[in-house]
Structures are given as C-alpha cells and as structure tokens.
Amino acid sequence: MLLGAFQMCSSMDATENLRAIEGACAKAHEQGVTYLQVPEMAVMFAENHDGLQRFVANGLDVALAQLGEMAKTYQLYLHVGSVAVGSDSGKCLNRAFLFAPDGTQKAYYDKIHLFDADVAGDAPYRESKNFDAGERAVVADVAGVGLGMAICYDVRFPQLFATLRQAGAQILTVPAAFTVPTGKAHWESLLRARAIETGCYLVAAAQGGDHANGRKTYGHSMIVDPWGKIVATCGDGGNGLIVAPFDAEQVKEARSRIPTLANQRHFSLSVNHNAAQ
C-alpha cells in the first residue's frame, strides 16, 4: 500500500482549494497511491467565525459531495484533514473525513484537543472561541489496516496515540496547520516521537505558507516509519505531494524490537511520597 500526503497553502476560496485537492488526487492515482491525506482546514481556511459559518451554511454539503466523488473517480481513500461543520452550540466542530474508494464516507473524527495558546512571536490562538471539542477517538479501516485519526494540536497528547495503537492502529494521522514558531521548535520531534512510541507509520499533511487571512503555517509535511525515520517530507511552503510505502512487516519488527505495549505497567501516584515527615 502506498501512502500519500498533500501539503497545501489553502485560501478562503473553497473552489480553488477543491481544485487543488482534485489535482493531488489525480497525481496520487497516477502513482498508485491507496491512501491520500490533505491538511487540516484544507477546503476552507476561513478568516473568522463568520467566514466559517458562511462555509458551513453554503458550501459544506457541496464540498463533501465533491470530495466523495474525487475518492471514487481516482479510486483511493481520501482523508480530508479537517473541515468546519456545524455544532449544536452554534460554534463548529473541526472534523476530519475519510472517504472510501467507492465515494462513501467511511469515518469521521472531531478534533479533541483545541489549540488555546499564547505563542511567542505570533498572535494568541483561541480555537475554543470558534470550535467545540470532540470526545471520541477513532480507528478506521483502510484496505485492512487500522488508521488512527488525530488533528494538529492532538499530537501533543501522547495518551491519545497510545489509545489508538491499543485499538489496532498501524498508521497514525496528524493533518495539521501548525504555526511557524511551534513548527520550528517541535513539529518533527513530536511526529517522530508518536511514531516511535507506538511502532506505527505516521502521516502528517500540513498547511504551509502565507495565507490570505494573515496566518502563516509551517509546512514540512512528513511520512514517518515505525522506527522514527522520516521517509518522505516537503519544504516549508506551497503545494506538494509526498508518497511512501506502508510495510506491515516494519510495524511488526519495530514493535518486537521495543515491545512497549507488553512492557507497559500500571502504577499509582503519590505526590511527595518520599518527602520527610
């Protein structure tokens, strides 16, 4: 099975972004890709809450129909890293969709961990202002292989990835729109760590470049093997397709060499247990 990740610099024009995704699907099909991932907020990189809501009301259903048709036309699993969908609260959910080669929606995942942070050298981020958090981890089936779904900031929470691995994931996914400062500092280290800890392949399609809404994203999309080796990567900006083979034997070998699941132990915590009385 050949894995693909398409790096984008998405705009606030859904039609333009969908055209870019379809072009990536066509190239991936030509190369024999089975699974193709595109980044977080691939279809609409909106400027604000109003922009998100306009897309949800007027463009979401059309976009999802087109994405399903792309998966069917190009006969691949298409993982849309995320789009905004409506939530009962009046906010949105940051939702990833996995389409099967027959065009149907095979799975979806709502981002659990929302990025509320003050990043030195960048504007403050309050993802929870516009989005509600998901509550359910998801492992989907891709051609008989377990695919664990996550989005961007989730990568900083290793327990999610341990849970996905225990539930049968052999491939982990981190479609993202990382900031430039945090990307430079942590992106590669976090991706490789999650792959190493779990003995999984990790596919991370990223946004990269200067966006029309003023945001700058880090890029450097990656595919990492179960031993933590980067087997394919992009640069810091613009669109680009990377591919790498999935090898179940490498998953088995990595897990047998370092059997973390078998060696894992449960423990209790007592704060200051050894402090002098």
- The residues carrying an active-site annotation are 40, 111, 152
Contact in structure between 80 and 38 (CB atoms under 8 Å): yes
Contact in structure between 213 and 239 (CB atoms under 8 Å): no
User: DSSP E strands: which ranges in 54-176?
Assistant: 77-86, 92-99, 105-110, 116-117, 125-126, 131-132, 138-142, 145-149, 169-173
3-state secondary structure of 18: helix
Residue 263: count of CB within 10 angstroms of its CB: 7
Helix extents (H) in 89-182? 158-166, 180-182
The whole-angstrom separation of Cα 188 and Cα 85 is 29
DSSP assignment of 235-271:
-SSS-EEEEEE--HHHHHHHHHHS-HHHH-------T
Strands 116-117 and 2-7: unpaired
Which residue carries 């031993």 as its tokens? Answer: 227
The whole-angstrom separation of Cα 244 and Cα 118 is 35
CA–CA–CA angle 240, 82, 236 (5° rounding):
30
The whole-angstrom separation of Cα 195 and Cα 246 is 13
